[in-house]
């Protein structure tokens, strides 16, 4: 399968007069056509920043980038204005956590979707409304013809989120970025939207990057999961391997501390402490301070992302040592 | 000076710590002429519950089901339109009972938003000392209590008493909020989505701490959350709400092991699967929860219920005891007229 | 507004270090921001100069601002002994401008301070108590709001008659509604925060909650707004004097001076504009300073 998106050694630093934030510190991954990559991380892990970098949504004047993001071979980080605006919406689309902010409250849903279709494809008035209707059907909104005439505030949260997905897919993007799109939704609605994204991804054969803090959600939608911590991917593996045999102490801690069935009455295995400050680039492993397996060589230099078989990548000296032991 | 020592149990262990019956709160919907649209949000409708001493009662439901309103009603941050409350045998806000202020000393609350629930202009120490001082505790004793409280929630007093909320992480702030709720030595603590905004690794720390504090201080919890897993982990009994009504109430084993109400079942199977080989194939129910301004007639869940029949629109099912739990569903009431109703 | 819940910002995912660091309160951090804002510093400096020289006017060895002279009328700027020339009655302009500052500043600051007390208390009460009391207070304010402030000031002064006290009274009345409205809105906002609910749940009295939890959070924005009103008050007071509804001659006051120098506008336009320049400088300094304060206090903690 060909690589749709290739991210290599991405660094993103925000510089304000008050402080510097090293939000992303060397992230590399690929997304193939027709695959969903889940990026799992807690607040401040850099997951959203990574995602937004793909569309270069950060304010240019206070953001420093390095590395490379290539979509179908085209470098995004050095792209000019024109190419960038073609990229946004047409080749890469994004859905957000809060659908209310993605729509203009004074226009109907239909108007806004048709408008986007017209702008990007040059279709006529009637054609673009037909397309808008098809899109609403595609995201399983009941009685789409009437819904086209609805204003955003007249729709429930779940419907708005579906409409936003329709808007995002209106120009047949090859890559769909999802930034916690179900976090604000109720449980019974969340699962509907998750299933919808999964089905659409298969139907339309798009690549999806799905950012979430919820392991359960990531497991439901992802083919592969990347776990981020302090601006780095610490582990990247196919979803089964990630759930069955996580190798990085952070991934293991995260899975162990997530409450689920059958944990009642048992003490939770919490990870002590809090994520590090991102003002400075750490000299060693960023997780070392909270890790129960910490050794002296953890803080010496940042560990590399190492392949441990079957496209399972881990960034940990412990795993390095184990692999070396196996090899020897 | 009011005594700030913990209040002893009075009615014996069998007497419920808190009994609420027939609580109702309807909020007027602003808009229309003169700011009155005549419509109301039926946030909580005739809700009765009891909390036993030393237990944790979990309250689950989706947004708009009224679970946060219940919390605020129980601590009287909002006044119920109807209904009575009894705290360990004492009626609340009634001639022969206890005052609302006394209720608030014994019942405290932890809010979801750890940031908004701390005054940004006060240090952590000042925030924690506020309630004891307002109840007349001398400054020196209040300071000692602040140290004790910070110690209890695992924050080093010398390090944190002088800090401001924005200098703390979300987890630390929520620890402070829990400490504040404990400042008056309450018997019942209402935790309203208290861990929902926290990262998973921090959530586990706070959950462990809540379990420890409960044993150490002999507390009773009402734990309100939309996260079914966390409620299952912490609760002894669980109450499921839908659009301002209780749909099911029972022991945690019964609710999670053998849910009776179609909504409870849907809610449980809407949880994301943690097993990639057994992913959810189909959403248990379609659509969104209806607007609480105009809830459906009869059973409020009928518009999304796969088993809805005529009777569900006609009559409102009462909360009926089925043995292990109480369920408000016509299918569980013999002779209700529902084709799937249990036989007598 | 100064108080905000965390918003979506690129710095939002930043998690603070758990290591102890020197704790900074809110006001020190505002001070730190102000020190890095040259515009505000310069404005504050200019205002300080104007205020100090007005207060210390009798000690500065200036010419007598009331002493008229028929032969020395309308001397141009830079004349010997009269640095800024003389007015239409031969009084020293420099002295009159400095002395004029006393009344003009007094007329600008006093009504705002009075309105701040009354409007602030009304607004905070309305915002904190809410319900019918809020409705009653705010609808009364709306009645005042229906009139443009200039018209309201003129009609009140006209009805009360000319004179310093009446000008102060009418200006105070003019400024109560806007201050009340701002106080009400920030208080309502703070009132909605969970920490106020938490304080209520602790059983503290309403007054204690207002004192400890509300005032500290609303005073900043209200003061900033009041500062911006001072410039309006100075201009309105000057306007009333210009129309003959405020200070009476021969008192030196910038608005009144502007009026009496009106005839000289063809003879010596620069001279005639001097009181206006003073009004302009003072009010723009107050405005810029209030902007600077607003920016410095708008800390997303």
The tens digit of pLDDT for each residue in B10-63 reads 777 888 999 999 999 998 887 655 556 678 888 898 899 999 999 999 999 988
Q: Please, what are the domains in chain C?
A: 29-297 (1.10.3720.10)
Cβ distance C193 to B134 less than 8 Å, yes or no, reads no
Q: Is residue A126 part of a domain?
A: no
Whole-angstrom CA distances from B180 to B147, B157, B198, C18, C198 are: 12, 14, 18, 20, 9
Q: Quick one: pLDDT band at residue C2, thresholds 50, 70, 90?
A: very low
Q: Are residue B109 and residue B142 in the same domain, yes or no?
A: no
- Kind and range of the H or E element at A250? helix A249-257
Q: Does residue A111 lie within any of the structural domains?
A: no
Domain assignment present for B154: yes
Q: Which residues contact C210 (CB under 8 A, 6 or more apart)?
A: C124, C128
In a domain, A13, yes or no: yes
- Rounded CA-CA distance A214/A182 in Å is 10
For residue B34, what pLDDT is reported? Answer: 58
Q: Percentage of chain C surpassing pLDDT 70?
A: 90
Residue C11 pLDDT: 32
With a cut of 80, say whether residue C14 has pLDDT above it. no
CB C6 within 8 A of CB C12: yes
Q: Considering only residues A30 and A121, tell me which one the structure prediction assigns the higher pLDDT.
A: A30
Asked whether the beta carbons of B51 and B186 are under 8 A apart, the reply is no
Nearest-Cα residue of chain B relative to residue C203: B101
Does B281 share its domain with B159?
Answer: no
Number of independent structural domains in chain B: 2
The tokens for C83 are 């640095």
For residues B78 and B187, state if they share a domain. Answer: yes
In chain B, pLDDT over 70 holds for what percent of residues? 96
Residues B146 and B211 in one domain: no
State residue B30 phi and psi, 5-degree precision: -70, 160
Contact B208, B233 (CB under 8 A): no
Q: Give the residue among B74, B10, B54 at the shortest CA–CA distance from B219.
A: B54
CB-CB under 8 Å, C198 with B111: yes
CA dihedral B331, B332, B333, B335 (to 10 degrees): 50
Chain B contact for A100 (CB, 8 A cutoff): no
Domain co-membership, B195 together with B266:
yes
Average pLDDT, chain B: 89
The answer on B126 and B67 residing in a single domain is no
> Which structural domain, as residue segments, surrounds residue B140?
121-163
Q: CA–CA separation, C268 vs C247, rounded Å?
A: 24
Mean per-residue pLDDT, B120-149: 92
Cα B282 to Cα A115: distance, rounded to the nearest angstrom: 33
User: Chain A residue closest to B63 (CA)?
Assistant: A186
Q: Any CB–CB contact under 8 A between A125 and chain B?
A: no
pLDDT for position A258: 84
CATH number for the domain spanning A161: value is 3.40.50.300
Nearest-angstrom CA–CA distance, C88 and C266: 12
C212 at the B interface (CB within 8 A)?
yes
User: How far, in whole angstroms, is CA C36 from its chain's centroid?
Assistant: 23
Q: Quick: pLDDT tens for B196-244.
A: 888 888 899 999 999 999 999 999 999 999 999 999 999 999 999 999 9
Cα A316 from Cα A298, distance rounded (Å): 8
Unique residue bearing structure tokens 């629109």: B313
Residues B193 and B99 reside in one and the same domain? yes
C149-160 vs C215-242: helix crossing angle, rounded to 10: 60
A140 near A193, Cβ under 8 Å?
no
Q: Which residue is it, tokens 């184990």?
A: A322
Nearest-angstrom CA–CA distance, A101 and A95: 11
Residues of C in contact with A14 (CB under 8 A): 10-11
Same domain, B130 and B274: no
Asked, for residue A97, whether it belongs to a domain, the answer is: yes
State the Cα–Cα distance between residues B276 and A219, nearest whole angstrom: 6
- Mean pLDDT score of chain A, rounded to an integer? 88
Closest residue in B to A224 (Cα–Cα): B276
Nearest CA in chain A to B229: A260
Tell me how far CA of residue A297 lies from CA of A26, A80, A289, A322, in angstroms. 20, 43, 13, 14
* DSSP SS3 for B229: helix
Minimal Cβ distance to B164: which of C25, C197, C208: C25
Of B163, B191, B226, the one marking the end of a domain is B163
Per the structure, the complete domain to which residue A92 belongs is given by: 3-106+151-327
φ/ψ of residue C67, rounded to 5: -80, 115
- CB-closest option in B204, B267, B280 to A195: B280
Residue range A207-240, pLDDT digits in tens: 999 999 999 999 999 999 999 999 999 999 999 9
Q: Which residues pair with C180 in a beta bridge?
A: none
Q: Which position has the token pair 């120490």? A: B125
Pair of tokens at residue A68: 């490379």
Q: Between A124 and B217, whose confidence is greater?
A: B217
Residues of C in contact with A63 (CB under 8 A): 10
Q: What's the whole-number mean pLDDT along residues B257-279? A: 90
**Does residue B275 share a domain with residue B134?**
no
Opening angle at CA A30, ends A27 and A31, nearest 5: 130
Which whole number is the average pLDDT over C92-121?
90
User: Which tokens sit at C228?
Assistant: 């911006």
Which of B23, B38, B113 minimizes the C-alpha distance to B71? B23
Query: Please, are residues B83 and B20 in contact by the beta-carbon 8 Å criterion?
Result: yes
Q: Are strands B56-60 and B220-225 parallel, antiparallel or unpaired?
A: parallel
Q: Is the pLDDT of residue B281 over 90?
A: no
Asked whether residue B210 falls in the same domain as residue B146, the answer is no
Are B107 and B174 contained in the same domain?
yes
Instruction: Establish if A143 touches chain B: CB-CB under 8 angstroms.
Output: no
Question: How far is B253 from B318, CA to CA, in rounded Å?
Answer: 22
Q: What is the ipTM of this complex?
A: 0.86
**Site from A64, A278, A280 to mutate, C interface, most C CB atoms within 10 angstroms:** A278
B174 plus B143 within the same structural domain: no
A43·C15 Cβ contact <8 A: yes
Query: Is C18's CB within 8 Å of B172's CB?
Result: yes
Contacts of A198 (CB under 8 A, 6+ apart): A36, A220, A221
**Rounded average pLDDT over B132-149:** 92
Asked if residue B7 belongs to a domain, the reply is: no
Closest CA to C141 of C177, C173, C184, C116: C177
* Subunit contact B77:C21, Cβ cutoff 8 A: no
User: What pLDDT, on a 0 to 100 scale, did the predictor assign at position C175?
Assistant: 92
CA atoms within 13 A on the CB side of C227: 21
Indicate yes or no: CB of B159 within 8 angstroms of CB of C26.
no
d(CA B70, CA B23): 8
CB-based contact A277 C11, cutoff 8 Å: no
Would you say residue B5 lies in a domain?
A: no
- Here the CATH number for the domain that contains residue B219 is 3.40.50.300
Give domain status of residue A264, yes or no.
yes
- Contact state of B208 with A258 under an 8 Å Cβ cutoff: no
Count how many domains chain A has: 1
C21 touches chain B (CB under 8 A): yes
**Residue A121 resides in a domain:** no
**Do residues A179 and A46 lie in contact, with contact meaning Cβ atoms separated by under 8 Å?**
no
Kind and range of the H or E run holding B59: strand B56-60
Give the C-alpha distances (Å, rounded to integers) separating C249 from B296, C158, C159, C244, C255: 76, 17, 20, 9, 11
Query: What confidence tier does B251 reach under pLDDT thresholds 50, 70, 90?
Result: very high
């Amino acid at each position: 399968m060909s690589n749709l998106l290739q991210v290599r050694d991405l660094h993103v630093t925000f510089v304000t007069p008050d402080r510097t934030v090293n939000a992303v510190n060397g992230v590399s991954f690929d997304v193939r056509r027709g695959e969903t990559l889940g990026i799992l991380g807690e607040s401040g892990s850099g997951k959203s920043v990574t995602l937004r970098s793909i569309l270069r949504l950060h304010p240019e004047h206070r953001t420093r980038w390095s590395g490379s993001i290539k979509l179908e071979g085209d470098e995004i980080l050095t792209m000019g204005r024109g190419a960038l605006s073609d990229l946004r919406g047409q080749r890469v689309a994004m859905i957000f956590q809060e659908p209310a902010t993605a729509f203009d409250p004074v226009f109907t849903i239909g108007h806004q979707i048709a408008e986007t279709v017209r702008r990007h494809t040059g279709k006529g008035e009637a054609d673009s409304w037909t397309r808008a209707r098809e899109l609403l059907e595609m995201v399983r909104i009941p009685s789409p013809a009437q819904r086209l005439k609805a204003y955003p505030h007249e729709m429930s949260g779940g419907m708005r989120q579906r409409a936003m997905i329709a808007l995002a897919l209106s120009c047949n993007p090859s890559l769909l970025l999802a930034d916690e799109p179900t976090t604000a939704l109720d449980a019974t609605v969340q699962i509907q939207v998750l299933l919808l994204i999964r089905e659409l991804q298969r139907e339309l054969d798009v690549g999806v990057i799905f950012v979430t803090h919820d392991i359960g959600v990531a497991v439901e939608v992802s083919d592969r999961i990347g776990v981020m911590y302090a601006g780095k991917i610490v582990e990247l593996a196919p979803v089964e391997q990630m759930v069955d045999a996580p190798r990085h102490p952070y991934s293991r801690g995260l899975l162990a501390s997530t409450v689920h069935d059958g944990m009642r009455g048992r003490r939770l295995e919490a990870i002590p402490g809090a994520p590090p400050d991102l003002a400075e680039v750490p000299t060693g492993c960023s997780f070392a301070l909270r890790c129960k397996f910490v050794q002296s060589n953890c803080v010496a230099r940042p560990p590399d992302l190492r392949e441990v078989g079957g496209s399972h990548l881990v960034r940990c000296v412990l795993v390095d040592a184990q692999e070396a032991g196996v090899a020897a | 000076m009011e005594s700030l020592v913990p209040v002893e149990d009075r009615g014996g262990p069998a007497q419920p710590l808190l009994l609420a019956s027939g609580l109702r709160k309807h909020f007027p919907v602003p808009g229309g002429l003169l700011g009155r649209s005549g419509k109301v949000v039926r946030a909580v409708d005739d809700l009765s519950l009891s909390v036993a001493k030393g237990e944790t009662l979990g309250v689950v439901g989706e947004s708009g089901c009224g679970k946060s309103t219940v919390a605020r009603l129980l601590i009287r941050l909002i006044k119920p339109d109807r209904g009575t409350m009894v705290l360990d045998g004492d009626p609340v806000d009634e001639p022969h009972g206890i005052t609302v202020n006394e209720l608030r000393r014994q019942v405290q609350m932890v809010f979801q938003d750890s940031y908004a629930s701390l005054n940004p202009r006060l240090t952590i120490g000042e925030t924690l000392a506020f309630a004891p001082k307002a109840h007349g505790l001398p400054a020196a004793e209040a300071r000692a209590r602040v140290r004790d409280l910070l110690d209890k929630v695992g924050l080093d007093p010398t390090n944190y008493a002088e800090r401001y909320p924005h200098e703390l992480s979300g987890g630390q702030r929520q620890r402070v909020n829990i400490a504040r709720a404990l400042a008056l030595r309450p018997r019942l603590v209402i935790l309203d989505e208290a861990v929902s905004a926290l990262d998973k690794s921090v959530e586990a720390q706070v959950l462990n701490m809540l379990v420890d504090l409960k044993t150490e201080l002999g507390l009773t919890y009402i734990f309100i959350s939309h996260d079914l897993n966390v409620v299952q982990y912490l609760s002894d009994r669980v109450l499921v709400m839908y659009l301002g009504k209780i749909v099911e109430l029972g022991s945690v084993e019964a609710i999670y092991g053998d849910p009776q109400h179609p909504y409870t079942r849907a809610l449980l199977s809407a949880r994301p699967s943690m097993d990639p080989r057994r992913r959810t194939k189909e959403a248990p129910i379609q659509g969104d929860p209806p607007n609480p301004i105009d809830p459906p007639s009869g059973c409020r869940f009928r518009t999304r219920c796969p088993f809805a029949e005529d009777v569900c629109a006609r009559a409102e099912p009462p909360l009926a005891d089925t043995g292990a739990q109480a369920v408000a569903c016509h299918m569980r009431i013999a002779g209700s007229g529902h084709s799937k109703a249990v036989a007598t | 507004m100064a108080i905000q819940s965390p918003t979506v910002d690129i710095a939002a995912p930043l998690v603070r270090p758990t290591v102890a660091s020197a704790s900074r309160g809110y006001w020190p951090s505002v001070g730190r921001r102000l020190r890095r804002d040259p515009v505000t510093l310069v404005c504050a400096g200019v205002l300080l100069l104007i205020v100090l020289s007005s207060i210390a006017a009798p000690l500065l060895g200036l010419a007598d601002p009331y002493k008229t002279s028929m032969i020395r009328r309308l001397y141009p700027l830079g004349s010997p002994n009269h640095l800024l020339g003389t007015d239409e009655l031969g009084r020293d302009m420099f002295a009159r401008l400095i002395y004029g500052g006393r009344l003009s500043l007094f007329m600008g600051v006093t009504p705002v301070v009075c309105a701040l007390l009354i409007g602030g208390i009304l607004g905070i009460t309305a915002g904190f108590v809410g319900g019918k009391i809020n409705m009653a207070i705010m609808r009364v304010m709306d009645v005042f709001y229906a009139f443009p402030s200039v018209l309201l000031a003129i009609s009140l002064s006209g009805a009360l008659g000319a004179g310093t006290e009446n000008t102060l009274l009418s200006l105070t009345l003019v400024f109560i509604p806007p201050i009340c409205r701002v106080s009400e809105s920030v208080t309502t906002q703070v009132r909605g925060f969970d920490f106020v609910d938490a304080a209520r749940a602790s059983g503290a009295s309403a007054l204690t909650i207002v004192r400890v939890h509300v005032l500290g959070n609303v005073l900043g924005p209200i003061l900033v707004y009041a500062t911006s009103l001072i410039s309006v008050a100075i201009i309105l007071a000057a306007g009333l004097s210009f129309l003959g509804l405020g200070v009476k001659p021969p008192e030196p006051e910038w608005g009144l001076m502007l009026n009496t120098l009106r005839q000289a506008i063809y003879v010596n336009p620069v001279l005639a504009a001097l009181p206006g320049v003073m009004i302009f400088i003072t009010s723009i300094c107050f405005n810029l300073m209030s902007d600077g304060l607003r920016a410095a206090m708008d800390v997303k903690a």
